[in-house]
Amino acid sequence: MLIGAPDDIIMLAFMSAMIHMVPATTTNTTGANAPGWPQLAFATQVYGWIAIAGKGLYGRQKDNVAANAQLFTSASVGIMTDAGSAGNPLAILGVFAVALSSGAGAAYEIMVIDGAKFVPKGIKIV
């Protein structure tokens, strides 16, 4: 359970050391805990459940993210992208887009494998 929430739903986030949910960006996720996706909005200082794995989940994505694409953090708060080259983003290992996204920042279906995590660029996963 996490305390607090971003101002938007379905935003990529992570749990900070203070056990608060923090909207994720490329800049603030280095060394972060596992990612999560709230499926509804929470008021500040309210407890709630955050999805950390499963299918039929929704997450905000940049425009034209390809179907079955590996997702990465972006410079935009709480929004994922499939462009793993711009701005040194972190891969969100175990998270994939289900279908092509066509609206920038809109929520689209994602699939999250249990144990998803942020991985710095250049780290080889075996």
Whether 5 and 45 have beta carbons less than 8 Å apart is answered as: no
- Amino acid 6: pLDDT: 46
Q: How many domains does one find in the chain?
A: 1
pLDDT in tens, the chain (126 residues): 333 444 444 566 766 555 667 788 888 887 777 888 888 877 777 777 888 888 889 999 988 999 999 999 988 888 899 887 667 788 899 999 998 888 777 888 999 988 888 887 666 554
CB contact burial 82-105 (16+ within 10 A = b; e otherwise)? bebeeeebbbbbbbbbbeebeeee
Query: For residue 90, what are the domain limits?
Result: 54-119
Closest CA to 36 of 122, 117, 101: 117
Task: Report yes or no on 32 lying in a domain.
Answer: no
Task: Report yes or no on 102 lying in a domain.
Answer: yes
Residue 10 to residue 60: CA distance in whole angstroms? 6
Task: Report yes or no on 76 lying in a domain.
Answer: yes
Task: Report yes or no on 69 lying in a domain.
Answer: yes
- Amino acid 1: pLDDT: 34
Task: Report yes or no on 16 lying in a domain.
Answer: no
Here the tokens at position 111 are 């699939």
Task: Report yes or no on 115 lying in a domain.
Answer: yes
Whether 39 and 2 have beta carbons less than 8 Å apart is answered as: no
Whether 51 and 1 have beta carbons less than 8 Å apart is answered as: no
- Amino acid 121: pLDDT: 65
- Amino acid 10: pLDDT: 53
pTM across the whole model = 0.77
Burial of 7: CB neighbours in 10 Å, binned 0-12, 13-18, 19+: exposed
Here the tokens at position 117 are 């995590």
